[in-house]
Amino acid sequence: MDIREIWPYSEWRPGQQEIAEAVYRCFLERKHLLLGYPMGAGKTAPVLAGSLAALLDNSLKLIYLVKTKSQFQAPLRELKMLNRRVAFSAVFLQNKRDLCPIKGTSVLQYDEFLKFCSELSRSGLCPYFKRLPKIEVEGVLSPRKIVQLASEVEACPYEVAKAALSQANVVVAAYNYMFDPDIRKIFLSELGVKTEDIVLVVDEAHNLPYVLIDILSKSLSRKKIRKARQEISRYYTGLNRAKLERNLYSLYAYMSKLKKIARKSCGEVELSISDLADLVPSPEELAKAATSVEIALERPSVLRSVASFLSSLSSRKPGFILTARIEENDVVLRNLCVSPAHEARKVFSSIRGSCLMSGTLPPRDHLIHMVGLEEEKTAELRMSSPWATRVKALALRGVSSRFVERGFGTYEVMAKAIDGLFETLKEGVALVVAPSYDMVKALRTHMKSRPILMERGDTSIGDVMKAVKASKKLLLLCAAWGKLAEGVELRANGKSLIKLVAVAGLPVPEPSILNKSLFEHLKYSVGSEAAWRSVYLAPAAVKVAQAVGRSVRSKHDTAVAAMLDERVLNDYVKNFLASLGYEIVAVGSVEELIEKSKALFGEMVN
């Protein structure tokens, strides 16, 4: 099939035809394509066009994965456009738990919900579970259309969507449908094709490694244990009731001790499973109790959540560690996956091909190491932003945010640079991004600039927009790993309001138990240097790119980016930023940085 014949627009944007052909070629050649293409430049349409050409010619099925349901809009829009040019069917598979009309299911983790749903359906107690008439799938079956069809036949919306899976050429779903082992097994059985006939597109693939860790890890809070014990006490009448109550109380008391220990260890501590051996109740007994309690409650039981976590410990595979961590003033046990590549490799080695795409796609070695791609089967296509040259990037030598080097002197130098840069800005927003919230707070005490909005845990985009409207210019101080640095979009009259980006330190991830364990696992297979790059440098480089990318979103935007950490001149980081089109000029002093910025603002921004 000629891709040009199904292209739904009058012309191609720069690079789009090359993308469509690269996707088509990789799927035919059974390869994995790493696709880096600028945010907002239009990569969804050519990826889908190339995918459709390949799958319709070869009787394949496309699974298009997104991180959250809020990201359905781009593929929905483009599939509708493509459907005007070529006949195919597509179904959007929203989270089964979210679609469930039964109240109370949102409290369960997804794998726990599936068990609850299965038992309710099998026992005949679900009022929405019924044999459906055959559903003819034509065109694009959106989430709204699915709910409408389910309402017409008074059936479960997910069952309606599931009935369409085997007929659909394209399925759009969340990451966990392919990467959660339990969910994947069910999902694949419903698709109606062999695994080797599946092609996979992963949108926003820079998220994939750490989303995999979240998907594969299990957690249990002290709060849930308390609720589970209350359920046993109030609703369970089995002969082992007293034993289960004692065991749950012992586990709760142990976790209370862990809370004190974790507080003394920077909020997190690694444990041995043997520490829990004599405390925990039987997962099988808890699961049976949960079934009994749910009949009385007429909703999912928290007991099921506890049973699921304990079961994950008893059947744990290599590549996991047990930790206790303080979260929202409670202590949480985590069966933490520190080797996501082990599980992801099963997916990528069994399917026909894949395309991992992102506007800030991490370096090749990071993705190969973290998600288990085969080197010889992995192709790469990266295109720099057509607007990257409209960002003038400067890097300050002689300053670093390395944890061991941070202190009063570092904060003074950075604050002096930020204040000087902000003073040269006549109007607009200066986005200052620090590696952590602690460093945000430290910098704030040294800075003299006003007005300033410092990101806090509850700061929203609405708060930012209110502050922007109230001032001719604003300094927005936030954390690289917070929600604002990656998600803030400030525009007015078609132009970006962010005129200055100051990266106040290379945002290298903190040396947490997770990161230390990831490093140790990778070190044995790829060596210390490559492991360090994958775990620490690659995520930092992506965060820098995301911060800088907030400023220039079209040909009408211009900005200055000041890197207040000489480590951005490290070859690995610098080459990654260069692949996105950002060329960095080094300066030797704060004074030189401010003078060069002043000249650039005069030429480009103000």
pLDDT tens figures, 165-198? 888 999 999 999 999 998 899 899 989 899 999 9
Query: What's the whole-number mean pLDDT along residues 92-120?
Result: 76
Position 459 scores a pLDDT of 83
Dihedrals φ, ψ of 402, to 5°? -50, 140
Position 511 scores a pLDDT of 83
Please state the separation of Cα 419 from the chain's center in Å.
33
pLDDT tens figures, 234-286? 999 999 999 999 999 999 999 999 988 988 888 899 998 888 877 888 899 99
| Size of the chain, expressed as the number of residues it contains | 606
Is it the case that residue 432 has pLDDT exceeding 90? yes
> Domains of the chain: which residue ranges?
1-14+29-88+169-203+340-383, 97-167, 217-337, 388-605
| Nearest by Cα to 504 from 451, 578, 430 | 430
Tokens 């004074």 correspond to 591
Is it the case that residue 115 has pLDDT exceeding 90? no
CB 533 within 8 A of CB 527: no
Is it the case that residue 553 has pLDDT exceeding 90? no
Q: What Å distances lie between residue 389 and 386, 553, 580, 592, 599, CA to CA?
A: 7, 12, 10, 21, 16
Q: What percent of the chain has pLDDT over 90?
A: 62
Determine if the pTM surpasses 0.75: yes
Of 53-57, 440-444, 482-486, minimum mean pLDDT range: 482-486
Query: What's the whole-number mean pLDDT along residues 148-157?
Result: 79
Measure the CA–CA gap between 478 and 501, rounded to whole angstroms: 11
Higher pLDDT, 487 or 540: 540
Bridge partner list, 269: 324
Position 126 scores a pLDDT of 80
Strand order across the 320-327 sheet = 218-221, 330-337, 320-327, 268-271
Position 111 scores a pLDDT of 65
Dihedrals φ, ψ of 589, to 5°? -155, 165
Write the single-letter amino acid at 200. Answer: L
Sign of CA dihedral 434, 436, 439, 445: positive
Position 487 scores a pLDDT of 67
Q: What is the DSSP letter of 568?
A: G
Measure the CA–CA gap between 48 and 201, rounded to whole angstroms: 9
Q: What percent of the chain has pLDDT over 70?
A: 98
Query: What's the whole-number mean pLDDT along residues 373-390?
Result: 91
Tokens found for residue 231: 């359920």
Q: What is the pairing mode between strands 320-327 and 268-271?
A: antiparallel
Tokens found for residue 55: 């799958």
Average pLDDT, whole number, for the chain? 90
Q: What is the pairing mode between strands 584-587 and 473-479?
A: unpaired
Measure the CA–CA gap between 427 and 181, rounded to whole angstroms: 51
- CATH code: domain 388-605 is 3.40.50.300
Position 604 scores a pLDDT of 65
Please state the separation of Cα 68 from the chain's center in Å.
8
Q: What Å distances lie between residue 424 and 393, 449, 473, 500, CA to CA?
A: 16, 11, 11, 10
Position 606 scores a pLDDT of 42
| Domains 1-14+29-88+169-203+340-383 and 217-337 agree in fold | no
Measure the CA–CA gap between 90 and 80, rounded to whole angstroms: 9
Highest mean pLDDT range out of 121-135, 147-161, 537-551? 537-551
Is it the case that residue 533 has pLDDT exceeding 50? yes
Position 378 scores a pLDDT of 97
Three-state secondary-structure class, residue 8: coil
Beta strand residue intervals within 187-300, DSSP E: 198-202, 218-221, 268-271
* 443 CB-near residues (< 8 Å, 6+ apart): 411, 414, 415, 418, 432, 434, 477, 504
| Nearest by Cα to 340 from 185, 179, 523, 220 | 179
Position 102 scores a pLDDT of 74
Say which CATH superfamily domain 1-14+29-88+169-203+340-383 falls into: P-loop containing nucleotide triphosphate hydrolases (3.40.50.300)
pLDDT tens figures, 35-58? 998 876 789 999 999 999 999 989
For residue 482, name the pLDDT band (cuts at 50, 70, 90). Answer: confident
What is the architecture of the domain spanning 217-337?
A: Orthogonal Bundle (1.10)
CB 451 within 8 A of CB 474: yes
Of 159-163, 216-220, 349-353, 371-375, minimum mean pLDDT range: 159-163
Position 605 scores a pLDDT of 45
Measure the CA–CA gap between 152 and 130, rounded to whole angstroms: 13
Three-state secondary-structure class, residue 327: strand
Report which secondary-structure segment, H or E, holds 86. Answer: none
Is it the case that residue 73 has pLDDT exceeding 90? no
